[in-house]
Amino acid sequence: HTVLTDRQFQHCWHYGITSVDSELQYGAASLPGTQRLLMVIKQYTRTYNETHHELEKTGRTHAEMVEERAKEKCEKIWTEQLFRKSPGSKSAPNIVVVSGVAGIGKTTMVQKIMFDWARGTQNKRFTFVFLFKFRDLNLLDDQTEPQMHLTRLIVRYYKYLNDLKLREILQKPKHLLFILDGLDEYKHKLDFTNKKLCSDPEQFFPVHVLITSLIRRTLLKGCSVLLTSRPTALESLDMGTVDRFAEILGFFPKQRLMYFKKFFGDEDLGSEAFQYVEENAILYTMCFNPSYCWIICSVLRNYFTMNEEDRKKAPKTVTELFVMFLYNILTNHKRQAEDQRGILVNLGKMAFHGVANRILVFYDKFEMFSFGLKSVDSSPFLSGFLKEILQEENTEECITYTFFHLTLQEFMAACSFFLDSSDDIEKLLERLDSCTDGCFEIFTRFLAGLARYSLTKQLEEILGWFLRKSSVKILQWVKEKAERALGSRDTSELLRVCHWLYETQNEKLIRDAIGKDLKLSLSSIILSPLDCAVLGSVIKCCGELEELRLQMFNISLVVEEEEEQISLQWTRLLSCELTSESCEALSLAVSSEHSLLTELDLTGNKLGDSGVRLLCKGLRSPKCKLETLGLVSCSLTSGSCEALSSVLSSEHSCLTDLRLTGNNLKDLGVRLLCEGLRSPLCKLQTMWLVSCGLTSESCEALSSILSSEHSHLTELDLTGNILENSGTCLLCEGLRSPNCKLKKLGNVAVLLSLILTSSYCLRTTGLQHICKRMSSGKICSVR
């Protein structure tokens, strides 16, 4: 055991930090041998997902994405390395920001940092570490004491430090670390544009200005600051002042399985539950977050410990998961609350108040009292939803509460509108219409999901009827929002609506909202694996979708073979950061007997030769109906051309348009392609070979294709290749053939230039032949 000094013990005792593991009901610390891994991001950008809600995070491809990003612009570090110098850096960072979604373990990380420092095992260069929680700072009385100096603020929380001793400590700022935990919970907004900042620890300023001054380095210059926050609260932060920005990664796949096994206490049962979650893209996406793992395991433990004949349908959507979570609480606390419905209505009203005003912490004397809720000690029923936090306000202790997870708060808020007839649902929907900051995003999904009668029927056995009028109005509103979103070009709104539709699990509503002959375009927005799973489900329901356009995404492609026939004919996945791993799923999709896909554009994705070889397995299938394939700039070499050639010569292939621009195929690759083009079974009419590293050595093979009686080629683009005179001569021989059906020839201008500057024979025969074909109308396009 490590003996703590009085100073270190009092520091940790102030926040109850005597054991890290004991602080957790769920989380990474509950896993044996796991440490907190973070990813340092060198260029921080906020995404749609980060600024709207933390449910939109990575899942199945979480680890793979992290590995890929880490190679390009990130480095992975452990918690104890946060203030260490990076390789190549001249100095260690002073201002560090750690971001993480709700429930992923930011506060637990802070507690571990404090505990390790107190034991003398980490961060030894800091003589003092001062921890301030923003939820504590909210309790300061702005009315009676609107301003204070830094020394007063520190002594307020660390009473054993007298003014004289503290002034001595502050003389050496390089040995001080200030930890500011939970910016997202702070009631004040930090203003980094404010030019009037504090520079002296004895100057009087509002507390939020003192905090800003520490981060801006005008106060105690040289000290270190660690700031933690959910991503949604980082909008106002001046990232220019930050030396290191890191994100907590959460559980990797192996850790998720380990967590399930430990939670269930039975490896076989834990593995069975995990396998179910792994097969559900929605639930698996959530499992990177330790707190979601806890909620999912809590629900599934009851499900998987039942006899198989007694098991009802396992949860599929997020709403279904939380309905089962609520059902378990209601059945386990039957005797602990006489009026469960009344308590849930009040709890839901308080939860909605919090969602609408971005409040996560509720005070016993204020919100709990105002909404008619007793303390958890007086009402054990509430312990299923709220956790109690003892805090110090002025010199008195006060009790505050938070929901176990932000998403649980939003679920309970949505429930209240189906339980209380006094709520004006139309007024609520008007408020949702006018909201632009995304604070009601997940709340709205729950609202749509709870409007499904079959889902709430089980709860009605305990709570009584859910309001049917509310359900009807909500579903009609969702339908109208979907129609408006599809009519506009707001891709963010369209994606939001798809999530709402998915939660309803109402196929008729989805088909009616989507309509017929729809062309779905989602551009310039980042899709998470959860988004992809939702889109796949919506596409499956609608059946009439003809075109799907996804451009410049970072997505995880989720493609499944469905029983229903989907009329998706045209899919564009431009620059979506797909790799060879996506191609197996794509191969299954194009070879499905239900697939009607005729055009697939994968431009700008690094599929590589291995990816295209996987894709070609599906293209050779007799069930494949693909006619146009775009593989522009897909990192291909000649290694992919044999597989593509086998597709061209397949009797089942319907391919008429192949675009290979921007790939380093070289002459060998084109010669391999020509073997397939030479087949009488080949139906190809258009081929783009722009900037493919070709020389004159490929032209003999191409010329033989142009003059082949079996060739159907009507368009050939060779722009950007160095064919030279000899190559031009060879091509002209093919063009001269009566069997040549070419109507469009890319880079004819280059050919003409070569002809005019070459030998007399070539000038005469070549130019005469090209002009003859142009005048006869056989060559319709010249570029």
Q: Out of 7-21, 100-114, 661-675, pick the least confident.
A: 7-21
Residue with the bigger pLDDT between 726 and 3: it is 726
Q: Is residue 197 part of a domain?
A: yes
Residue with the bigger pLDDT between 594 and 230: it is 230
The tens digit of pLDDT for each residue in 214-264 reads 999 999 999 999 999 988 788 778 888 899 988 887 787 788 899 999 999
pLDDT of residue 520: 64
Average pLDDT score over residue span 156-166: 84
33 falls in which pLDDT band (50, 70, 90)?
very low
Q: Is residue 201 part of a domain?
A: yes
Task: Report which secondary-structure segment, H or E, holds 733.
Answer: helix 724-736
Q: How far is residue 600's CA from residue 632's CA, in Å, rounded to a whole number?
A: 11
Residue with the bigger pLDDT between 286 and 728: it is 728
- In DSSP terms, which residues pair with 601 in a beta bridge? 572, 630
Please give the order of strands across the beta sheet that includes 74-78.
Answer: 74-78, 37-41, 244-248, 95-99, 224-229, 176-181, 128-133
The answer on pLDDT for 621 being more than 70 is yes
Task: Report which secondary-structure segment, H or E, holds 14.
Answer: helix 6-14
Extract long-range pairs of 613-617: CB within 8 Å, 24+ residues apart.
613/640, 613/643, 614/580, 614/583, 614/584, 614/587, 615/583, 615/586, 615/587, 615/590, 616/587, 616/643, 616/644, 616/646, 616/647, 617/587, 617/591
Across the chain, what does the average pLDDT equal?
79
pLDDT of residue 550: 61
- In DSSP terms, which residues pair with 74 in a beta bridge? 41
Comparing C-alpha atoms, which of 414, 52, 43 is closest to residue 233?
52
Q: Is residue 253 part of a domain?
A: no
The tens digit of pLDDT for each residue in 668-692 reads 999 999 999 999 999 999 999 999 9
For 488-525, what is the HEC assignment? CCCHHHHHHHHHHHHHHCCHHHHHHHHCCCCEEEEECC
Residue with the bigger pLDDT between 401 and 550: it is 401
Q: Is residue 504 part of a domain?
A: no
**198 shares its domain with 289:** no
58 falls in which pLDDT band (50, 70, 90)?
very low
Average pLDDT score over residue span 449-476: 89
Global pTM? 0.64
**265 shares its domain with 224:** no
pLDDT of residue 483: 86
pLDDT of residue 288: 79
Q: How far is residue 59's CA from residue 318's CA, in Å, rounded to a whole number?
A: 14
Q: Is residue 223 part of a domain?
A: yes
757 falls in which pLDDT band (50, 70, 90)?
very low
Average pLDDT score over residue span 483-512: 85
φ/ψ (deg, to 5) at 546: -100, -30
Q: How far is residue 727's CA from residue 737's CA, in Å, rounded to a whole number?
A: 16
Q: How far is residue 689's CA from residue 719's CA, in Å, rounded to a whole number?
A: 7
DSSP E strand boundaries for 186-272: 224-229, 244-248
**166 shares its domain with 202:** yes
Q: Is residue 398 part of a domain?
A: no
**219 shares its domain with 289:** no
Q: Is residue 29 part of a domain?
A: yes
Question: The domain that contains 193 carries what CATH number?
Answer: 3.40.50.300
- Contact between 244 and 94 under an 8 Å Cβ cutoff? The reply is no
**178 shares its domain with 302:** no
56 falls in which pLDDT band (50, 70, 90)?
very low
What is the share, in percent, of the chain residues with pLDDT greater than 70?
77
Q: Out of 263-272, 326-335, 371-380, 522-531, pick the least confident.
A: 522-531
Q: Is 125 helix (H, G, I), strand (E, B) or coil?
A: coil
Average pLDDT score over residue span 181-198: 87
Rounded to the nearest 10 degrees, how much is the dihedral formed by the CA atoms of 593, 598, 602, 607?
40
**155 shares its domain with 27:** yes
Average pLDDT score over residue span 272-283: 83
Domain boundary among 248, 275, 292: 248
Range of 154's domain?
6-248
- Contact between 200 and 72 under an 8 Å Cβ cutoff? The reply is no
758 falls in which pLDDT band (50, 70, 90)?
very low
Q: Out of 105-109, 247-251, 352-356, 522-526, pick the least confident.
A: 522-526
pLDDT of residue 59: 41
Q: How far is residue 183's CA from residue 177's CA, in Å, rounded to a whole number?
A: 17
**292 shares its domain with 215:** no
SS3 content of the chain, % helix, strand, coil (to 5): 50, 10, 40
Domain boundary among 221, 248, 275: 248
Task: Report which secondary-structure segment, H or E, holds 551.
Answer: strand 547-551
The tens digit of pLDDT for each residue in 567-584 reads 455 566 766 767 787 888
Total domains in the chain come to 2
**47 shares its domain with 105:** yes
**198 shares its domain with 287:** no
Domain boundary among 227, 248, 269: 248
Q: Is residue 290 part of a domain?
A: yes
Q: How far is residue 309's CA from residue 130's CA, in Å, rounded to a whole number?
A: 56
Q: Out of 11-25, 351-365, 698-712, pick the least confident.
A: 11-25
**11 shares its domain with 89:** yes
**81 shares its domain with 221:** yes
Comparing C-alpha atoms, which of 647, 715, 649, 646 is closest to residue 678?
649
What is the share, in percent, of the chain residues with pLDDT greater than 90?
35
**27 shares its domain with 106:** yes
